[in-house]
Amino acid sequence: MKDFLERADKSDASQDIALVNEMIAGWDGPDMEFSDEAVGLLIQNYQGAVPALVQAYSLELLQARRKN
């Protein structure tokens, strides 16, 4: 997890799609199929998406570790 958080902290726009793909395996509901292009559109249309996803992902990992 430490490695992931360090990469997330240093991530820039060129790395955001790869970072999001590490956290998300797919999605249900949106009309667009899960792909690098779709993730790129998500990031482009919702400027705060990457920080929000990293925060939620990190919190869930920490909570899962505490329970185990």
pLDDT in tens, 16-45: 999 999 898 888 877 889 999 999 999 999
pTM recorded for the entire structure: 0.76
Which among 50, 46, 48, 58 has a CA at the least distance from the CA of 14? Answer: 50
**What is the per-residue burial (b if ≥16 Cβ within 10 Å, else e) of 39-65?**
beebbeeeeeebeebbeebeeeeeeee
- Confirm if 39 and 13 have CB atoms less than 8 A apart: no
Residue 66 structure tokens: 């505490």
pLDDT, one tens digit per residue, over 40-68 is 999 999 989 999 999 999 999 888 878 76
* Domain carrying residue 55: 2-67
What domain count does the chain have? 1
